[in-house]
Amino acid sequence: IAQKTVWNHLNKTGYKKKLDVWVYDNVKRKRSRSNRGEPAQTVVEGFAVCLVDNARPHTSIVTRQKLRELDWEILMHPPYSPDLAPSDYHLFLSMANDFAGKKFASREACENRLSQFFANRDEGFYETGIMELPSK
């Protein structure tokens, strides 16, 4: 089957090719401008926010130009450990430093050391971690 035939069939059934992906053409774009004259933001009904994982195809010039043309907001994946919450950095960094070079003979010994770790941390330790959140 010729490519043009497939395209014509998809167009007749309500699909459109957008960014090299066939999507159903009921996507409606809305533009809104705030009262303070801030730049317009595009809301795309039926679609999630564009979350980019920094892979080469997603950061290519063509892709970025098309997303700018559509006025889509791009949310970049944070580099390194995107699965960790920002609050975990303070705690896990301290824990890694405390446990560095230590070996445990049993699971019970490890659990006891972990209990000691938490028992030796005062409220100030957690407060410091919380106060550092905006800077990360």
Instruction: Assign 3-class secondary structure to 6-42.
Output: HHHHHHHCCEEEECCEEEECCCCEEEECCCCCCCCEE
Q: What is the pLDDT of residue 22?
A: 47
> Is residue 56 located within the same domain as residue 96?
no
- Give a yes or no: residue 127 inside a domain: yes
**Do 60 and 90 fall into the same domain?**
no
Number of domains in the chain: 2
Answer yes or no: do 16 and 54 share one domain.
yes
pLDDT at 116: 92
Question: How far is 106 from 111, CA to CA, in rounded Å?
Answer: 9
Q: Clarify whether residues 50 and 91 are in a common domain.
A: no
Is 97 inside a domain boundary? yes
For residue 106, what are the contacts with CB-CB under 8 A and spacing of at least 6? none
129 shares a domain with 106: yes
The pair phi, psi for residue 78, each rounded to 5°, is: -70, 140
From first to last of the 136 residues of the chain, give the pLDDT tens digit.
666 776 676 667 665 555 455 444 444 444 444 344 444 444 445 444 554 555 555 557 777 777 778 777 666 655 555 555 655 677 888 888 888 888 889 989 989 999 999 999 988 888 888 777 655 4
User: 107 and 63, same structural domain?
Assistant: no
The verdict on 64 and 128 lying in the same domain is: no
Say if residues 55 and 77 touch (Cβ distance below 8 Å).
no
- Give the Cα separation of 85 and 117 in Å (integer): 20
Contact at 8 Å (CB) between 50 and 67? yes
Residue 66, classed as helix, strand or coil, is helix
Containing structural domain, residue 93: 85-135
Task: Say whether both 124 and 73 belong to one domain.
Answer: no
The pTM for the full model equals 0.36
